[in-house]
Amino acid sequence: MLVQFGNNQFLLNPDGSIYWLEEKSLIVGDLHLEKSTSYIDQGNFLPPYDTIDTLKRLLNITKELLPNRIIFLGDVFHDNSAFDRLKTKEKKLFKDILKKNVIWVKGNHDNSFKYVNIKTYTSYKLKNFIFSHISNKKNKLEISAHYHPKVTFKFRGTKVSKPCFLIDKEKIILPAYGAYTGGLNISSDIYKNIFLNNYQIYALGNTKVLKIEKKF
Amino acid sequence: MIQEKHKYKNNIIKDKIQSHKINKWFKKKGWSFYDYQIKALQAINQNKDILITSPTGSGKTLAGLLPTILESEKFKKTNLYTIFISPLKSLSYDIERNLLIPINECDLNLTISVRTGDTTAYTKTKQIEKPPNILVTTPESFALLMSYKNAEEYFSNTKYLIIDELHNIIHSKRGDLLALNIARLNEIAPNHNKIALSATLKDIKTGLAYFSNKKKSEVIKSLKNKKFSVSIIKTTKNIPWSGYMATYAIKNIYNNILKHKYSIIFVNTRAQAEVLFQSLWKINKDKLNIAVHHGSLEKKLRIKIEEKMFKGLLNCIVATSSLELGIDWGNISLIIQVGAPKGISRMIQRIGRSNHKINLPSKAILVPTNKFEYLECEAAKKAIYENDIEEIKIKKGSLDVLAQHIFGVACSKPFNKDLLFKNIKTSFPYKNLDIITFNKVLEFVKNGGYSLKHYKEFNKIKKNIKGNYEVSDKRLIHKYRMNIGTIVESDLINVYLKNKKLGKIEEYFVQNLVRGDTFLFAGEVLEYLENNVKGISVKKSKNKYPKIPSYVGGRLPLSTKLSRHVIELINNYKNFNMPTRIEEWLQKQEEYSMLPPSEGLLIETFTRNNFGFRKNYLVAYTFQGRSANQTLGLVVLNKMLKLHLKPIAFTATDYALVVWSEIKCNDVEKLFDNRNFFQGFNQWLENTSLIRKHFKDVAVISGLIDKNYPGYIKTHKQIKFNSDLIYEVLKKYERNHILLKSTKLEAIDDLLDYNKIKNYLLAIKNNIIHKNLKRVSPMSIPLLLEFNIEKVKEDNLIDIIEEENNLLLEANLH
């Protein structure tokens, strides 16, 4: 699904990433790698397959769209020590991805993560667009993540809940990309404070992105 | 006084009773012991475990506690002798309240205390330091106490374990949890006797085997059977073709509650409770005190209503199953059941609420809300008089509960793996558990049990030097206790009126609300204002009618037994004195098509023109209950797709399945062929929302993920685990994981009636009767209207009325 934003063209992908046509850049938010293993000390042993699943999906979309650059919008890792918990195979996949030109915006989960050759930013400006993890009221033309928006709607009589993109004239919020990242429903008051106007909702379907009409 | 007719088998019992204070107290009240109460004492005296089956209101609780009371003189003040397990919190307090009367009036040397999830921390601590003689508790709180370090010492003096309302607990996950802890109690206090109390159980043998593994055991039945007086409401109005709200009979219902001082109106869903309550108040000229009671109401509000009822301040309560179990209100004189009974045992239980005293007949009036329900009411009436109750379906012990239990044992003390396995196998639900499965569950408890040994160095339980398993981190014990239990609540959100909490409603309902929407809750029309962290806030609306009609919830399944009775009734309808309109309906069906036969399956096909669009209908009158029909519908729909019949949709009720397609199906027998019926079904099943929902329950109960704290709107931080996502990943990367396997097995049998359908298709194999009709049949009319009813929005109402008129015209019934 192609949308216009700040006179540029952005392709919304059903995996939750965005492809910026003018800059040939792939934008992803909230991978939360190693979320599974972060609950060990609390006694929750989640199936430890989320990282491999998330990285494989990211690799697939880069193979498909061949971007010149990947912009990470923060919370790539679920916590600051998550990188050390990657298995050998996962580390290799991660390094393969980093071979691209990468812009790394820090998140609240991985703000002290350090890695050779990666420069990290609190927010990054490219052309007129600001890339940050958490949305800031002052920013015009901003692309951010953090809230993991999801929307609930009725489809053929049954209730469906899906991650979604939220877009108005000044802001885009991306859904979370990670395999285990749940979401915050758009009925939450938080979104009212971010968007001044009514925003568009684009839900992630299995093979395409669906525009959802919802009254406010 | 003790009547002479008691044949005391030995004098010890006689002396025990006659010399005891309680006897004098009984005499003073002018009461006498029932025969079966004495029999129970005799059996206990012979060191037997006993199962007392008797209708409600016959002194079961006293029968269970009598052995304890008689021995109380010998009791030490701070030893726990009797554990009383009750399925409902409110029931626990009721038992305490009732037992405190003789304790105080006879000055008995007995202490009693209640422990449930509602008990204050102070009382809980006190109960541990100074145990009461009788502890009234729930299966969950019992499991929790069993997980304490001092559990062995605490329960070592147990003389009696009493299980109340056994029929309500067994063959469920709660029952699994209780059975496992009983097995442990058997080790800690091997010499205690067990007393189970139950409403009439069909399968007594299994009931007994469930809780007792003693060689000597006995079933004691109270001789008296409760008398019933059941009738169907008489109105001059016709019973509607469809719908579930019974507003057509509201005046008759009102007149009936007016005639009785105290009555309960039972309904099947919360929506019915709310609508009925409001409708009654609209015509309440006599200012009767009418209240509403259901599970979603705030605890304080609920208790207030219960107290008012107890004190006789209310004339009538509209209630869901929340009031079904044996709370002791002796003075209710009328039960009104609105909506189909759905089950015979359930109905008997409900009716038993009226005239709780055993020698008076219980009076009940049934109010069908539509034509099919009339048939169900009539059939239930017959079955109730015949006392033809359902068997409880036996289920194998669930593995998620087993996982919870294994960790619970580890919290209490280090355990030897082999001994624990042996002990678990002594419990009824797990008697056939094999060592391989047990080991898998143990591995799961240890570190998730994944084939990828990623969590190898982290373990929730680990072997100590003696080779026994113990909890590796003390903090996990606290968390375990917060998550104990087998009831996983759906995501519920608090409802606040100013600062007053009214109760909880489903999260999905809230998500579809827009500011200004009005809905019925706690008996009032409320307007949605906004949501915040605590829940949603509302104000009272000036509107008389809510914009959003209601939310579903608490739909009861029709029992197989009752559905049998309904078919028999249909085939003998001329022998019943039915309302003319119902008789006419069945007669026209018989003339135009045929009545659904008692052996075999009737399938009708016909075509209708809808706004120039031709729809080909297929109606299968299976009478197999909604969930079985739903599963059937999904499979048939898939088969039609493969046959290129272009199916459009289907609707399933308790009685029948309706499928419609663009192209007519001529070979209906093929669709219901029992060979390979479920081919390809497993793959389809994995992707249904039903199995995802079930996986969530399994994940929570087994301890993979934590319980949500119900009530609060989730903030960003609180979203920790999304079970759907975990399910997807597990399915993709480790299909043979023990949790996935047991989720699937449970779903297939318990939720989808897989085996029931298999057996059914086999039974009708050569007996499918296909009626190829020119137009809609009389019996299918309510079924075709059903589909529209599911869409409850107000503006659809006009469509429904129009559709009803069309159908009646087409069927020549106008």
CATH number at residue B139: 3.40.50.300
Using alpha carbons, list the distances in angstroms from residue B575 to B569, B571, B572, B578, B580. 9, 9, 6, 9, 13
Compare all CA atoms of chain B with the CA of A108 and give the residue at the minimum distance.
B717
Q: Is the pLDDT of residue B791 over 50?
A: no
Residue B755 has pLDDT above 60, yes or no: yes
pLDDT class for B707, splitting at 50, 70, 90? Answer: confident
Beta bridge partners of B113: B135
Confidence (pLDDT) at B192: 96
Both B196 and B68 in one domain: the answer is yes
Helix (H) or strand (E) holding B621: strand B613-621
Domain ranges, residue A167: 2-212
Integer Cα distance of A108 and B609 in angstroms: 60
Q: Do B730 and A49 touch (CB under 8 A)?
A: yes
In this structure, the answer to whether residues B149 and B77 fall within a common structural domain is yes
Average of per-residue pLDDT across B784-789: 63
**B783: in domain:** yes
Give yes or no for B514 touching A (CB within 8 A).
yes
- Closest residue in A to B454 (Cα–Cα): A48
pLDDT cut 70: percent of chain B above it: 90
Lowest mean pLDDT among A41-50, B169-178, B298-307: B298-307
Separation in Å, CA of A45 to nearest CA in chain B: 5
CA distance B347 to B343: 6
Q: What is the pLDDT of residues B507-530, one digit of tens each?
A: 767 766 777 788 878 777 888 887
Examine the domain organization and report whether B368 and B423 are in the same domain: no
Distance CA B406, CA B456 (A): 19
Q: Looking at the structure, tell me whether residues B596 and B614 fall in a common domain.
A: yes
Q: Which amino acid is at B313?
A: L
Q: Flag if A49 and B716 touch (Cβ within 8 Å).
A: no
Whether residue B121 sits in one domain with residue B253 = no
> Pick from A39, A50, A189: which is nearest to B729 by CB?
A50
Summarize pLDDT for B441-481 with one digit per residue, the tens.
Answer: 999 999 999 988 778 778 999 999 999 999 999 999 998 99
In chain B, which residues have their Cβ closer than 8 Å to the Cβ of A147? 716
Position with higher pLDDT, B649 vs B797: B649
The model's confidence at residue B3, banded by pLDDT at 50, 70 and 90, is very low
Kindly state whether residue B138 falls inside one of the protein's structural domains. Answer: yes
Encode pLDDT of A12-36 as tens digits.
Answer: 999 999 999 999 999 999 999 999 9
Cα distances (Å, whole numbers) of residue B497 to B8, B268, B277, B541, B714: 61, 26, 19, 11, 20
Confidence of residue B224 (pLDDT cuts 50, 70, 90): low
Q: How remote is the C-alpha of B447 from its chain's centroid?
A: 33
CA A75 to chain centre: 9
Residues B286, A90: Cα–Cα separation, whole Å: 75
Burial B19-54 (b: 16+ CB within 10 A, else e): ebbbbebbeeeeeebbbbbbbbbbbbbeebbbbbbb
Amino acid making up residue A92: K
Highest-confidence segment of A112-121, B83-92, B144-153, B713-722: B144-153
For residues B533 and B655, membership in a common domain is answered with: no
Q: Which of A189-203, B669-683, B709-723 has the lowest mean pLDDT?
A: B709-723
Q: Alpha-carbon distance B302 to B803, whole Å? A: 41
Contact B737 A50 (CB under 8 A): no
What is the mean predicted confidence (pLDDT) over B14-19? 81
Buried b (16+ CB within 10 A) or exposed e, B425-447: bbbbbbeebeeebbebbbebbbb
B729–A49: do the CB atoms touch at under 8 Å?
yes
Q: Which of A50-59, A195-204, B485-494, B605-614 has the highest mean pLDDT?
A: A50-59
- B556 within domain boundaries: no
Dig out the tokens for B539 from the structure: 């104000």
Q: Which residue of chain A has the CA closest to B704? A: A44
- Per-residue pLDDT tens over the stretch B268-277: 888 888 889 9
Confidence class for position A210, pLDDT limits 50, 70, 90: confident
Q: If you average pLDDT over residues B47-59, what whole number do you get? A: 83
Tens-digit pLDDT profile for residues B662-697 = 899 989 988 998 888 888 777 777 877 778 888 999
- Inter-residue contact A143 to A27 (CB < 8 Å): yes
Taking CB atoms and an 8 Å cutoff, what residues of chain A touch B531? 187-189
Domain count, chain B: 6
Q: Which amino acid is at A135?
A: S
Burial of B287 (0-12, 13-18, 19+ CB in 10 A): exposed
Residue A43 to residue B460, Cβ atoms within 8 A: yes
Q: What mean pLDDT do residues B266-295 have?
A: 89
Residue B139's closest CA among B99, B187, B196, B179? Answer: B179
**Minimum mean pLDDT range among A169-183, B485-499, B588-602, B723-737:** B485-499
- Bigger pLDDT: B58 vs B35: B35
Asked if B406 and B447 sit in the same domain, the reply is yes
Mutate which: B490, B716, B718, B723, vs A, most A CBs within 10 A: B716
Helix/strand/coil percent split, chain B, to 5: 45, 15, 40
The residue to which tokens 């061949």 are assigned: A66
Q: Is the dihedral of CA B77, B83, B89, B90 positive or negative?
A: negative
Q: The tokens of B444 are what? A: 């799961």
Nearest to B452 among A40, A48, A181 (CB): A48
Q: Report helix angle B60-71 to B21-29, nearest 10.
A: 140
CB contact under 8 A, B726 and A53: no
Among residues B450, B482, B514, which one ends one of the domains?
A: B482
CB distance A173 to A149 below 8 Å: yes
- Contact call for A45 and B460, based on CB within 8 A: yes
**Residue B174 banded pLDDT, cuts 50, 70, 90:** very high
Q: Are residues B667 and B702 in the same domain?
A: no
Distance in Å, alpha carbon of B404 to nearest chain A alpha carbon: 13
Report the chain B residue with the minimal C-alpha distance to residue A183: B719
Q: How confident is the model at residue A174 (pLDDT cuts 50, 70, 90)?
A: very high
Identify the band that residue B298 occupies on the pLDDT scale cut at 50, 70 and 90. confident
Same domain, B173 and B192: yes
Separation CA B647–CA B722 (nearest Å)? 34
Report d(CA B329, CA B333) in Å as an integer: 10
Write out the residue range of the structural domain in which residue B102 sits: 48-221
A44 vs B contacts (CB less than 8 Å): 703-706, 721
> Would you say residue B549 has pLDDT above 60?
no
B516 contacts on A by Cβ (under 8 Å): none
- A184 with B460: Cβ contact below 8 A: no
Where helices occur in B212-298 by DSSP H, the ranges are 250-259, 270-282
Closest partner residue to A185 (CB to CB) among B511, B530, B790 is B511
CA atoms within 13 A on the CB side of B163: 27
> Residues A43, B703: contact at Cβ < 8 Å?
yes
What's the angle, vertex CA B260, arms to CA B257 and CA B266, rounded to 5? Answer: 50
CB contacts < 8 Å between A and B, how many?
101
SS3 content of chain A, % helix, strand, coil (to 5): 20, 35, 45
CA B570 to mean position of chain CA atoms = 28
CA distance B657 to B625: 10
Task: Give which of B250, B261, B249, B52 is closest to B167, Cα–Cα.
Answer: B52
One domain for residues B282 and B413? no
Contact B620, B592 (CB under 8 A): no
Check pLDDT > 70 for residue B9.
Answer: no
DSSP strands (E only) in B697-798 = 768-772
Choosing from B442, B463, B482, the residue where a domain stops is B482
CB contact under 8 A, B729 and A44: no
Q: Are residues B194 and B105 in the same domain?
A: yes
Question: What pLDDT score does B647 carry?
Answer: 81
Cα gap B659→B579, rounded to integer Å: 30
pLDDT digits (tens, 9 = 90+) for B570-615: 999 999 889 999 999 999 999 999 999 999 999 999 999 876 678 8
Q: Judge whether B733 is closer than 8 Å to chain A, CB to CB.
A: yes
Query: Which member of A47, A188, A215 has the closest CB to residue B733?
Result: A47
Q: Which residues of chain B does A190 touch, with a Cβ-Cβ cutoff of 8 Å?
A: 716
CATH number, domain containing residue A18:
3.60.21
For chain A, how many structural domains are there in total? 1
DSSP B652: E
Collect all residues of chain A within an 8 Å Cβ-Cβ radius of residue B460.
43, 45
Give contacts of A179 with chain B, Cβ < 8 Å: 725, 728-729
Chain B residues touching residue A46 (CB < 8 angstroms): 448, 704-705, 721, 726
Nearest C-alpha neighbor of B43 from the set B20, B25, B64: B64
The domain boundary, picked from B482, B506, B524, lies at B482
| Smallest CA–CA distance from A216 into chain B, residue | B514
d(CA B614, CA B339): 34
Question: Using 50, 70 and 90 to split pLDDT, how confident is the model at B342?
Answer: confident
Q: Is the CB of A148 less than 8 angstroms away from the CB of B455?
A: no
How many CA within 13 A on the CB side of residue B127? 23
Nearest to A44 among B454, B705, B734 (CB): B705
Which residue in chain A is spatially nearest to B690 when comparing CA positions?
A158
* Distance of alpha carbon A102 from alpha carbon A96, whole angstroms: 12
Parallel, antiparallel, or unpaired: how do β-strands A171-173 and A158-167 relate? antiparallel
Distance of CA B330 to CAs A192, B36, B262, B326, B561, Å? 54, 21, 10, 11, 30
- Reported confidence tier of residue B489, pLDDT bands at 50, 70, 90: low
Q: Does residue B354 surpass a pLDDT of 90? A: no
Average pLDDT, chain B: 85
Amino acid at B174: R
H or E element: which one contains B362?
strand B362-367
In Å, how far is B792's CA from the nearest CA of chain A? 12
Q: Where are the alpha helices (DSSP H) in B267-397?
A: 270-282, 299-310, 344-351, 371-386
- State whether B274 and B212 are in the same domain: no
Q: What is the reported pLDDT for B302?
A: 80
